[in-house]
A and B are shown apart, each in its own frame.
Chain A
Amino acid sequence: MRQLIGTLLIGLTLGSIYSLMALALVLVWRSTRVVNFAQAGQAIVTTYIAYEIVTRTGVFWLAVLFAVVAGALLGAGVEYFLMRTLFRHVDEGPVAALAPVIATLGLLGVIKSLVGMIWGNDFRSFYPPVSTDNFVLFGETIPFSRFNILVILSTTVVMIIFSFIFQRTDLGLSLRAAAFQPEIARLAGIRVGPIRTIGWVFAGVAGAIAGVLITPNDVLSPASLDVLLVFGFVAAVIGGLESLPGAVLGGVVLGIGVSFVLNYVGTTLIFPTVFVVLLLALIFKPNGLLGSKKVRSA
Protein backbone atom coordinates (compact mmCIF):
# COMPACT_ATOMS: atom_id res chain seq x y z
CA MET A 1 0.00 0.00 0.00
CA ARG A 2 2.84 2.33 0.96
CA GLN A 3 4.52 1.58 -2.36
CA LEU A 4 1.29 2.23 -4.23
CA ILE A 5 0.75 5.61 -2.59
CA GLY A 6 4.40 6.49 -3.14
CA THR A 7 4.15 5.54 -6.79
CA LEU A 8 1.07 7.72 -7.26
CA LEU A 9 2.70 10.69 -5.52
CA ILE A 10 5.89 10.43 -7.57
CA GLY A 11 3.74 10.10 -10.68
CA LEU A 12 1.83 13.21 -9.74
CA THR A 13 5.03 15.21 -9.35
CA LEU A 14 6.55 13.93 -12.58
CA GLY A 15 3.23 14.48 -14.32
CA SER A 16 3.08 18.08 -13.14
CA ILE A 17 6.40 18.86 -14.79
CA TYR A 18 5.49 16.97 -17.98
CA SER A 19 2.27 19.01 -17.93
CA LEU A 20 4.18 22.29 -17.91
CA MET A 21 6.23 21.28 -20.95
CA ALA A 22 3.04 19.99 -22.58
CA LEU A 23 1.37 23.34 -21.84
CA ALA A 24 4.26 25.14 -23.51
CA LEU A 25 3.94 22.97 -26.62
CA VAL A 26 0.16 23.36 -26.71
CA LEU A 27 0.40 27.15 -26.33
CA VAL A 28 2.67 27.40 -29.37
CA TRP A 29 0.57 24.91 -31.31
CA ARG A 30 -2.61 26.84 -30.54
CA SER A 31 -1.18 30.19 -31.52
CA THR A 32 0.78 29.23 -34.64
CA ARG A 33 0.11 25.57 -35.52
CA VAL A 34 3.77 24.73 -34.97
CA VAL A 35 5.17 21.90 -32.83
CA ASN A 36 8.05 23.72 -31.20
CA PHE A 37 10.83 21.17 -30.66
CA ALA A 38 13.11 24.08 -29.70
CA GLN A 39 11.06 24.45 -26.53
CA ALA A 40 13.57 22.21 -24.73
CA GLY A 41 16.42 24.37 -26.01
CA GLN A 42 14.72 27.56 -24.86
CA ALA A 43 14.06 25.95 -21.47
CA ILE A 44 17.67 24.78 -21.11
CA VAL A 45 18.92 28.34 -21.67
CA THR A 46 16.54 29.74 -19.07
CA THR A 47 17.43 26.96 -16.63
CA TYR A 48 21.14 27.74 -16.97
CA ILE A 49 20.30 31.41 -16.36
CA ALA A 50 18.42 30.32 -13.24
CA TYR A 51 21.44 28.22 -12.25
CA GLU A 52 23.72 31.26 -12.55
CA ILE A 53 21.40 33.41 -10.46
CA VAL A 54 20.83 30.83 -7.76
CA THR A 55 24.54 29.99 -7.41
CA ARG A 56 25.50 33.68 -7.25
CA THR A 57 22.70 34.96 -5.00
CA GLY A 58 21.31 31.83 -3.37
CA VAL A 59 17.81 33.23 -3.96
CA PHE A 60 15.74 30.60 -5.79
CA TRP A 61 12.76 32.85 -6.49
CA LEU A 62 14.98 35.50 -8.05
CA ALA A 63 16.30 32.74 -10.31
CA VAL A 64 12.74 31.79 -11.23
CA LEU A 65 11.96 35.42 -12.04
CA PHE A 66 15.00 35.72 -14.30
CA ALA A 67 14.20 32.40 -15.98
CA VAL A 68 10.60 33.44 -16.62
CA VAL A 69 11.60 36.79 -18.10
CA ALA A 70 14.30 35.14 -20.21
CA GLY A 71 11.79 32.49 -21.33
CA ALA A 72 9.34 35.17 -22.39
CA LEU A 73 12.01 37.11 -24.30
CA LEU A 74 13.37 33.97 -25.96
CA GLY A 75 9.89 32.90 -27.00
CA ALA A 76 9.17 36.32 -28.44
CA GLY A 77 12.54 36.39 -30.20
CA VAL A 78 12.13 32.97 -31.82
CA GLU A 79 8.65 33.86 -33.06
CA TYR A 80 9.55 37.35 -34.24
CA PHE A 81 12.87 36.69 -35.94
CA LEU A 82 12.57 33.09 -37.11
CA MET A 83 8.92 32.07 -37.36
CA ARG A 84 7.65 35.23 -39.03
CA THR A 85 10.35 34.93 -41.68
CA LEU A 86 9.45 31.30 -42.36
CA PHE A 87 5.72 31.94 -42.30
CA ARG A 88 6.08 34.38 -45.19
CA HIS A 89 6.96 31.40 -47.38
CA VAL A 90 4.59 28.72 -46.07
CA ASP A 91 2.38 28.92 -49.16
CA GLU A 92 5.26 28.20 -51.52
CA GLY A 93 5.06 24.41 -51.31
CA PRO A 94 4.81 21.40 -49.03
CA VAL A 95 8.39 21.69 -47.73
CA ALA A 96 8.01 25.42 -47.09
CA ALA A 97 4.82 24.63 -45.18
CA LEU A 98 6.78 22.27 -42.92
CA ALA A 99 9.74 24.63 -42.63
CA PRO A 100 8.70 26.24 -39.32
CA VAL A 101 8.54 22.84 -37.58
CA ILE A 102 11.79 21.65 -39.14
CA ALA A 103 13.42 24.93 -38.14
CA THR A 104 12.53 24.35 -34.49
CA LEU A 105 14.47 21.06 -34.64
CA GLY A 106 17.42 22.90 -36.13
CA LEU A 107 17.14 25.61 -33.53
CA LEU A 108 17.15 23.00 -30.76
CA GLY A 109 20.48 21.68 -32.06
CA VAL A 110 21.95 25.17 -32.34
CA ILE A 111 20.88 26.17 -28.83
CA LYS A 112 22.18 22.97 -27.24
CA SER A 113 25.54 23.38 -28.98
CA LEU A 114 25.81 26.99 -27.85
CA VAL A 115 24.86 26.07 -24.29
CA GLY A 116 27.54 23.35 -24.34
CA MET A 117 30.10 25.90 -25.56
CA ILE A 118 29.17 28.43 -22.87
CA TRP A 119 28.57 26.23 -19.83
CA GLY A 120 30.30 22.99 -20.82
CA ASN A 121 28.83 19.51 -20.68
CA ASP A 122 29.38 18.84 -16.96
CA PHE A 123 26.41 17.95 -14.83
CA ARG A 124 25.34 20.76 -12.53
CA SER A 125 22.56 21.18 -10.03
CA PHE A 126 21.01 23.71 -7.72
CA TYR A 127 19.09 23.55 -4.51
CA PRO A 128 15.35 24.14 -4.33
CA PRO A 129 13.76 26.74 -2.04
CA VAL A 130 12.15 24.08 0.15
CA SER A 131 13.25 20.70 1.39
CA THR A 132 13.40 17.68 -0.91
CA ASP A 133 13.45 15.38 2.13
CA ASN A 134 10.64 12.87 2.04
CA PHE A 135 7.83 13.14 4.58
CA VAL A 136 7.63 10.59 7.34
CA LEU A 137 4.07 9.61 8.17
CA PHE A 138 3.31 7.23 11.08
CA GLY A 139 6.90 6.08 11.03
CA GLU A 140 6.82 5.34 7.29
CA THR A 141 8.76 7.34 4.73
CA ILE A 142 6.54 8.61 1.94
CA PRO A 143 8.40 9.49 -1.29
CA PHE A 144 6.92 12.95 -1.30
CA SER A 145 8.55 16.19 -0.18
CA ARG A 146 7.75 19.85 0.34
CA PHE A 147 9.39 20.50 -3.01
CA ASN A 148 7.04 18.03 -4.68
CA ILE A 149 4.10 19.95 -3.25
CA LEU A 150 5.62 23.16 -4.61
CA VAL A 151 5.94 21.59 -8.07
CA ILE A 152 2.30 20.47 -8.11
CA LEU A 153 1.04 23.81 -6.79
CA SER A 154 3.12 25.77 -9.31
CA THR A 155 1.78 23.71 -12.21
CA THR A 156 -1.78 24.12 -10.98
CA VAL A 157 -1.42 27.89 -10.66
CA VAL A 158 0.18 28.22 -14.12
CA MET A 159 -2.56 26.08 -15.65
CA ILE A 160 -5.32 28.10 -13.99
CA ILE A 161 -3.81 31.40 -15.13
CA PHE A 162 -3.42 30.28 -18.73
CA SER A 163 -6.88 28.68 -18.81
CA PHE A 164 -8.35 31.90 -17.43
CA ILE A 165 -6.60 33.96 -20.08
CA PHE A 166 -7.64 31.63 -22.89
CA GLN A 167 -11.25 31.21 -21.78
CA ARG A 168 -12.20 34.47 -20.10
CA THR A 169 -10.31 37.24 -21.84
CA ASP A 170 -10.49 38.91 -25.19
CA LEU A 171 -6.77 38.19 -25.53
CA GLY A 172 -7.44 34.48 -25.14
CA LEU A 173 -10.22 34.57 -27.70
CA SER A 174 -7.89 36.39 -30.09
CA LEU A 175 -5.17 33.79 -29.51
CA ARG A 176 -7.56 30.97 -30.33
CA ALA A 177 -9.02 32.72 -33.37
CA ALA A 178 -5.69 33.85 -34.83
CA ALA A 179 -4.38 30.31 -34.90
CA PHE A 180 -7.21 28.88 -36.95
CA GLN A 181 -8.19 31.63 -39.37
CA PRO A 182 -5.54 34.36 -39.33
CA GLU A 183 -7.00 36.21 -42.31
CA ILE A 184 -10.48 36.37 -40.84
CA ALA A 185 -9.05 37.27 -37.46
CA ARG A 186 -7.29 40.21 -39.10
CA LEU A 187 -10.56 41.35 -40.66
CA ALA A 188 -12.06 41.28 -37.15
CA GLY A 189 -9.42 43.79 -36.10
CA ILE A 190 -6.87 41.42 -34.57
CA ARG A 191 -3.19 42.11 -35.14
CA VAL A 192 -2.29 38.49 -35.72
CA GLY A 193 1.50 38.96 -35.61
CA PRO A 194 1.69 40.36 -32.07
CA ILE A 195 -0.97 37.90 -30.91
CA ARG A 196 1.14 34.99 -32.15
CA THR A 197 4.15 36.44 -30.40
CA ILE A 198 2.19 36.50 -27.15
CA GLY A 199 1.42 32.78 -27.61
CA TRP A 200 5.17 32.09 -27.86
CA VAL A 201 5.84 34.30 -24.85
CA PHE A 202 3.37 32.31 -22.74
CA ALA A 203 4.95 29.06 -23.94
CA GLY A 204 8.42 30.37 -23.12
CA VAL A 205 7.26 31.17 -19.59
CA ALA A 206 5.72 27.71 -19.09
CA GLY A 207 8.85 25.99 -20.45
CA ALA A 208 11.11 28.09 -18.23
CA ILE A 209 9.12 27.15 -15.12
CA ALA A 210 9.26 23.47 -16.13
CA GLY A 211 13.05 23.62 -16.49
CA VAL A 212 13.54 25.31 -13.12
CA LEU A 213 11.23 22.89 -11.33
CA ILE A 214 12.66 19.67 -12.74
CA THR A 215 16.32 20.47 -12.15
CA PRO A 216 16.47 20.32 -8.31
CA ASN A 217 15.34 16.68 -8.52
CA ASP A 218 17.64 15.99 -11.46
CA VAL A 219 20.84 17.35 -12.97
CA LEU A 220 21.49 20.17 -15.40
CA SER A 221 23.36 19.63 -18.67
CA PRO A 222 22.83 20.79 -22.27
CA ALA A 223 20.80 17.63 -22.96
CA SER A 224 19.09 17.27 -19.60
CA LEU A 225 15.69 18.52 -20.80
CA ASP A 226 15.54 16.30 -23.90
CA VAL A 227 13.57 13.66 -22.05
CA LEU A 228 11.25 16.33 -20.68
CA LEU A 229 10.61 17.52 -24.24
CA VAL A 230 9.73 14.00 -25.42
CA PHE A 231 7.51 13.27 -22.43
CA GLY A 232 5.92 16.72 -22.63
CA PHE A 233 5.18 16.16 -26.30
CA VAL A 234 3.62 12.76 -25.62
CA ALA A 235 1.55 14.33 -22.81
CA ALA A 236 0.40 17.09 -25.17
CA VAL A 237 -0.65 14.52 -27.78
CA ILE A 238 -2.48 12.44 -25.17
CA GLY A 239 -4.31 15.61 -24.21
CA GLY A 240 -5.20 16.34 -27.82
CA LEU A 241 -2.57 19.04 -28.56
CA GLU A 242 -5.33 21.65 -28.53
CA SER A 243 -6.46 21.70 -24.96
CA LEU A 244 -4.72 23.23 -21.94
CA PRO A 245 -6.55 21.02 -19.40
CA GLY A 246 -5.88 18.16 -21.83
CA ALA A 247 -2.15 18.85 -21.66
CA VAL A 248 -2.24 18.77 -17.87
CA LEU A 249 -4.33 15.59 -17.84
CA GLY A 250 -1.99 14.01 -20.40
CA GLY A 251 1.01 14.97 -18.26
CA VAL A 252 -0.49 13.50 -15.10
CA VAL A 253 -1.57 10.27 -16.84
CA LEU A 254 1.89 9.89 -18.34
CA GLY A 255 3.64 10.79 -15.07
CA ILE A 256 1.70 8.19 -13.13
CA GLY A 257 2.27 5.64 -15.90
CA VAL A 258 6.03 6.30 -15.86
CA SER A 259 6.08 6.10 -12.09
CA PHE A 260 4.37 2.70 -12.11
CA VAL A 261 6.81 1.32 -14.68
CA LEU A 262 9.69 2.79 -12.68
CA ASN A 263 8.56 1.26 -9.38
CA TYR A 264 7.06 -2.05 -10.49
CA VAL A 265 8.90 -2.99 -13.70
CA GLY A 266 12.20 -1.21 -14.12
CA THR A 267 13.82 1.76 -15.79
CA THR A 268 14.61 -0.02 -19.05
CA LEU A 269 10.94 -0.21 -20.00
CA ILE A 270 10.15 3.47 -19.42
CA PHE A 271 10.83 4.69 -22.94
CA PRO A 272 9.12 1.78 -24.72
CA THR A 273 6.10 2.28 -22.46
CA VAL A 274 5.91 6.01 -23.20
CA PHE A 275 6.04 5.46 -26.94
CA VAL A 276 3.51 2.64 -26.81
CA VAL A 277 1.21 5.01 -24.91
CA LEU A 278 1.81 7.62 -27.63
CA LEU A 279 0.93 5.15 -30.38
CA LEU A 280 -2.15 3.90 -28.55
CA ALA A 281 -3.29 7.48 -28.00
CA LEU A 282 -2.87 8.26 -31.69
CA ILE A 283 -4.72 5.12 -32.74
CA PHE A 284 -7.61 5.16 -30.29
CA LYS A 285 -7.92 8.80 -29.19
CA PRO A 286 -6.41 10.87 -32.01
CA ASN A 287 -8.24 13.96 -30.76
CA GLY A 288 -6.92 13.43 -27.25
CA LEU A 289 -8.46 12.38 -23.96
CA LEU A 290 -10.56 15.54 -23.84
CA GLY A 291 -10.81 16.02 -27.59
CA SER A 292 -14.03 15.52 -29.45
CA LYS A 293 -15.62 17.23 -32.43
CA LYS A 294 -18.55 18.25 -30.28
CA VAL A 295 -16.70 19.43 -27.20
CA ARG A 296 -15.10 22.81 -27.08
CA SER A 297 -11.48 22.76 -26.08
CA ALA A 298 -10.26 25.18 -23.45
Chain B
Amino acid sequence: MKIVVCIKQVPDTKGGVKFNPDGTLDRGAMLTIMNPDDKAGLEAALRLKDQYGAEVTVVTMGLPKAEEVLREAMAMGADKGILVTDRVLGGADTWATSQTLAGAIRNLEYDLIITGRQAIDGDTAQVGPQISEHLGIPVISYAQKIEIEGNSVIVERQYDDRYHVLKAQMPCLITALAELNEPRYMTPGGIFDAYDAEITVWGRADLKDVEDSNLGLKGSPTQIAKASDKVRKGAGEKVTLDPTEAVNYIVDKLKVKHVI
Protein backbone atom coordinates (compact mmCIF):
# COMPACT_ATOMS: atom_id res chain seq x y z
CA MET B 1 0.00 0.00 0.00
CA LYS B 2 1.19 3.50 -0.76
CA ILE B 3 0.19 6.39 1.48
CA VAL B 4 0.79 10.09 0.82
CA VAL B 5 0.61 12.41 3.83
CA CYS B 6 0.36 16.19 3.36
CA ILE B 7 1.97 18.20 6.13
CA LYS B 8 2.50 21.91 6.76
CA GLN B 9 5.04 23.88 8.72
CA VAL B 10 3.17 26.44 10.80
CA PRO B 11 4.01 29.13 13.36
CA ASP B 12 3.31 27.87 16.87
CA THR B 13 0.33 30.06 17.76
CA LYS B 14 0.16 28.65 21.27
CA GLY B 15 2.97 30.92 22.41
CA GLY B 16 1.10 33.97 21.10
CA VAL B 17 1.70 35.76 17.87
CA LYS B 18 4.41 38.35 17.24
CA PHE B 19 3.77 41.33 15.00
CA ASN B 20 6.02 43.61 12.99
CA PRO B 21 5.62 47.36 13.63
CA ASP B 22 3.53 47.59 10.45
CA GLY B 23 1.02 45.08 11.81
CA THR B 24 2.03 42.11 9.67
CA LEU B 25 2.94 38.81 11.26
CA ASP B 26 6.57 38.48 12.25
CA ARG B 27 6.93 34.87 11.18
CA GLY B 28 10.70 34.99 11.73
CA ALA B 29 10.21 35.68 15.43
CA MET B 30 7.86 32.76 15.93
CA LEU B 31 8.80 29.15 16.47
CA THR B 32 7.61 26.76 13.82
CA ILE B 33 6.18 23.27 14.30
CA MET B 34 4.62 20.53 12.25
CA ASN B 35 0.90 21.33 12.20
CA PRO B 36 -0.70 19.20 14.97
CA ASP B 37 -3.56 17.74 12.87
CA ASP B 38 -1.02 16.84 10.15
CA LYS B 39 1.17 15.12 12.71
CA ALA B 40 -1.82 13.02 13.75
CA GLY B 41 -2.38 12.20 10.07
CA LEU B 42 1.25 11.13 9.76
CA GLU B 43 0.96 8.99 12.88
CA ALA B 44 -2.16 7.34 11.45
CA ALA B 45 -0.22 6.55 8.26
CA LEU B 46 2.70 5.13 10.25
CA ARG B 47 0.33 2.90 12.23
CA LEU B 48 -1.16 1.59 8.99
CA LYS B 49 2.42 0.98 7.85
CA ASP B 50 3.13 -0.97 11.07
CA GLN B 51 -0.08 -2.95 10.77
CA TYR B 52 -0.44 -3.65 7.05
CA GLY B 53 2.90 -2.64 5.54
CA ALA B 54 3.02 0.56 3.49
CA GLU B 55 5.29 3.10 1.91
CA VAL B 56 4.68 6.53 3.42
CA THR B 57 5.56 9.64 1.43
CA VAL B 58 5.25 13.06 3.06
CA VAL B 59 4.60 16.11 0.91
CA THR B 60 4.80 19.72 1.99
CA MET B 61 4.38 23.01 0.18
CA GLY B 62 6.20 26.00 1.55
CA LEU B 63 9.43 27.93 1.81
CA PRO B 64 12.73 25.99 1.52
CA LYS B 65 12.85 26.03 5.34
CA ALA B 66 9.80 23.70 5.36
CA GLU B 67 12.29 20.91 4.66
CA GLU B 68 12.60 20.77 8.47
CA VAL B 69 9.16 19.20 8.91
CA LEU B 70 9.89 16.65 6.20
CA ARG B 71 13.02 15.56 8.09
CA GLU B 72 11.01 15.41 11.32
CA ALA B 73 8.43 13.21 9.56
CA MET B 74 11.14 10.95 8.23
CA ALA B 75 12.72 10.70 11.68
CA MET B 76 9.31 9.47 12.88
CA GLY B 77 9.29 6.81 10.18
CA ALA B 78 8.14 8.25 6.84
CA ASP B 79 9.97 6.77 3.85
CA LYS B 80 10.20 9.68 1.43
CA GLY B 81 9.93 13.46 1.62
CA ILE B 82 8.89 15.85 -1.13
CA LEU B 83 9.19 19.62 -0.81
CA VAL B 84 7.14 21.67 -3.26
CA THR B 85 8.63 25.13 -3.33
CA ASP B 86 8.63 27.88 -5.93
CA ARG B 87 8.21 31.64 -5.82
CA VAL B 88 5.30 31.50 -8.25
CA LEU B 89 3.37 29.33 -5.78
CA GLY B 90 3.47 31.94 -3.00
CA GLY B 91 0.43 33.81 -1.72
CA ALA B 92 -1.87 30.90 -2.53
CA ASP B 93 -5.33 30.61 -0.99
CA THR B 94 -6.89 27.21 -0.40
CA TRP B 95 -7.94 26.84 -4.05
CA ALA B 96 -4.41 27.46 -5.35
CA THR B 97 -2.81 25.45 -2.54
CA SER B 98 -5.00 22.43 -3.23
CA GLN B 99 -4.29 22.76 -6.96
CA THR B 100 -0.55 22.78 -6.21
CA LEU B 101 -0.67 19.76 -3.93
CA ALA B 102 -2.94 17.85 -6.33
CA GLY B 103 -0.45 18.66 -9.13
CA ALA B 104 2.36 17.20 -7.02
CA ILE B 105 0.39 14.13 -5.94
CA ARG B 106 -0.51 13.29 -9.58
CA ASN B 107 3.15 12.31 -9.99
CA LEU B 108 2.87 9.73 -7.23
CA GLU B 109 1.21 6.37 -6.84
CA TYR B 110 -1.19 6.31 -3.91
CA ASP B 111 -3.92 4.24 -2.33
CA LEU B 112 -4.56 6.64 0.49
CA ILE B 113 -3.92 10.35 1.00
CA ILE B 114 -4.05 11.66 4.56
CA THR B 115 -4.10 15.35 5.46
CA GLY B 116 -4.67 17.08 8.77
CA ARG B 117 -8.14 18.51 9.21
CA GLN B 118 -6.87 22.08 9.42
CA ALA B 119 -3.71 24.11 10.00
CA ILE B 120 -3.48 26.19 13.14
CA ASP B 121 -2.44 29.30 11.20
CA GLY B 122 -5.26 29.41 8.65
CA ASP B 123 -7.87 27.23 10.39
CA THR B 124 -9.74 26.69 7.12
CA ALA B 125 -10.02 22.87 6.93
CA GLN B 126 -10.50 23.30 3.17
CA VAL B 127 -7.32 22.08 1.49
CA GLY B 128 -7.86 18.35 2.14
CA PRO B 129 -11.38 18.15 0.68
CA GLN B 130 -10.34 20.41 -2.22
CA ILE B 131 -7.39 18.14 -3.11
CA SER B 132 -9.76 15.17 -3.22
CA GLU B 133 -12.10 17.04 -5.55
CA HIS B 134 -9.26 17.93 -7.94
CA LEU B 135 -8.13 14.30 -7.98
CA GLY B 136 -11.68 12.94 -8.35
CA ILE B 137 -11.51 10.65 -5.33
CA PRO B 138 -13.74 10.31 -2.26
CA VAL B 139 -13.02 12.26 0.90
CA ILE B 140 -13.74 11.37 4.49
CA SER B 141 -13.05 14.20 6.88
CA TYR B 142 -12.62 14.15 10.67
CA ALA B 143 -11.53 10.54 10.87
CA GLN B 144 -11.50 8.99 14.33
CA LYS B 145 -10.49 5.45 13.40
CA ILE B 146 -9.04 4.04 10.19
CA GLU B 147 -8.94 0.40 9.04
CA ILE B 148 -8.12 -1.24 5.73
CA GLU B 149 -10.27 -4.01 4.27
CA GLY B 150 -9.15 -5.26 0.87
CA ASN B 151 -9.52 -2.42 -1.59
CA SER B 152 -11.51 -0.30 0.80
CA VAL B 153 -10.90 1.84 3.81
CA ILE B 154 -13.27 1.81 6.77
CA VAL B 155 -13.37 5.00 8.74
CA GLU B 156 -15.28 6.34 11.70
CA ARG B 157 -16.25 9.90 10.93
CA GLN B 158 -17.29 12.20 13.75
CA TYR B 159 -20.19 14.66 13.67
CA ASP B 160 -21.67 16.75 16.42
CA ASP B 161 -24.06 14.19 17.87
CA ARG B 162 -23.12 10.99 16.03
CA TYR B 163 -20.53 9.14 14.09
CA HIS B 164 -20.76 7.31 10.81
CA VAL B 165 -18.84 4.18 10.00
CA LEU B 166 -18.03 4.73 6.33
CA LYS B 167 -16.59 2.45 3.71
CA ALA B 168 -14.84 4.10 0.77
CA GLN B 169 -13.05 2.69 -2.23
CA MET B 170 -9.35 3.42 -2.43
CA PRO B 171 -7.80 5.63 -3.60
CA CYS B 172 -9.39 7.90 -1.03
CA LEU B 173 -8.47 11.01 0.96
CA ILE B 174 -8.89 11.16 4.72
CA THR B 175 -8.52 14.19 6.97
CA ALA B 176 -7.29 13.59 10.49
CA LEU B 177 -7.88 15.36 13.79
CA ALA B 178 -5.16 15.93 16.39
CA GLU B 179 -7.41 13.94 18.77
CA LEU B 180 -7.06 10.86 16.54
CA ASN B 181 -3.92 9.60 18.23
CA GLU B 182 -0.79 10.44 20.20
CA PRO B 183 2.02 10.89 17.66
CA ARG B 184 5.19 8.90 18.29
CA TYR B 185 8.51 10.53 19.04
CA MET B 186 11.37 10.64 16.61
CA THR B 187 13.88 7.89 17.30
CA PRO B 188 17.62 8.70 17.67
CA GLY B 189 18.38 6.38 14.73
CA GLY B 190 15.56 7.96 12.78
CA ILE B 191 16.89 11.46 13.42
CA PHE B 192 20.35 10.35 12.32
CA ASP B 193 19.03 8.80 9.10
CA ALA B 194 16.64 11.65 8.38
CA TYR B 195 19.46 14.16 8.64
CA ASP B 196 21.20 12.46 5.71
CA ALA B 197 18.09 11.43 3.81
CA GLU B 198 17.54 12.85 0.40
CA ILE B 199 14.61 15.22 0.07
CA THR B 200 13.00 15.56 -3.34
CA VAL B 201 12.45 19.19 -4.29
CA TRP B 202 9.82 20.07 -6.87
CA GLY B 203 9.03 23.43 -8.44
CA ARG B 204 6.27 24.71 -10.70
CA ALA B 205 7.55 22.70 -13.68
CA ASP B 206 7.16 19.43 -11.78
CA LEU B 207 3.44 19.87 -11.11
CA LYS B 208 1.27 17.71 -13.34
CA ASP B 209 -1.87 18.88 -15.15
CA VAL B 210 -2.19 22.26 -13.45
CA GLU B 211 -2.70 25.56 -15.24
CA ASP B 212 -0.71 28.64 -14.27
CA SER B 213 -3.98 30.49 -13.79
CA ASN B 214 -4.74 28.25 -10.81
CA LEU B 215 -1.49 28.82 -8.92
CA GLY B 216 -0.09 31.28 -6.42
CA LEU B 217 -1.51 34.66 -5.56
CA LYS B 218 -2.77 35.25 -9.11
CA GLY B 219 -4.60 31.93 -9.17
CA SER B 220 -6.35 32.56 -5.87
CA PRO B 221 -10.06 33.46 -6.11
CA THR B 222 -10.08 34.94 -2.60
CA GLN B 223 -8.22 38.13 -1.87
CA ILE B 224 -7.45 39.84 1.41
CA ALA B 225 -9.29 43.15 1.77
CA LYS B 226 -8.01 43.90 5.25
CA ALA B 227 -6.04 42.15 7.98
CA SER B 228 -5.50 43.34 11.48
CA ASP B 229 -4.63 42.39 14.98
CA LYS B 230 -7.87 41.42 16.62
CA VAL B 231 -9.59 44.23 18.47
CA ARG B 232 -10.97 42.91 21.70
CA LYS B 233 -13.54 44.57 23.83
CA GLY B 234 -10.96 45.03 26.55
CA ALA B 235 -10.86 44.42 30.25
CA GLY B 236 -13.64 45.60 32.51
CA GLU B 237 -13.24 45.82 36.26
CA LYS B 238 -10.93 43.56 38.21
CA VAL B 239 -11.34 43.39 41.96
CA THR B 240 -9.73 41.37 44.73
CA LEU B 241 -12.32 40.62 47.40
CA ASP B 242 -12.92 38.27 50.27
CA PRO B 243 -15.68 35.73 49.62
CA THR B 244 -18.53 37.67 51.27
CA GLU B 245 -17.64 40.87 49.46
CA ALA B 246 -17.23 38.94 46.22
CA VAL B 247 -20.74 37.47 46.55
CA ASN B 248 -22.26 40.90 47.19
CA TYR B 249 -20.34 42.32 44.27
CA ILE B 250 -21.59 39.67 41.84
CA VAL B 251 -25.20 39.79 43.10
CA ASP B 252 -25.09 43.55 42.72
CA LYS B 253 -23.94 43.34 39.11
CA LEU B 254 -26.56 40.71 38.26
CA LYS B 255 -29.25 43.01 39.69
CA VAL B 256 -28.00 46.09 37.84
CA LYS B 257 -28.02 44.09 34.60
CA HIS B 258 -31.51 42.71 35.35
CA VAL B 259 -30.33 39.13 35.32
CA ILE B 260 -32.10 38.52 38.65
Whether A and B are associated in the same complex: the answer reads: no
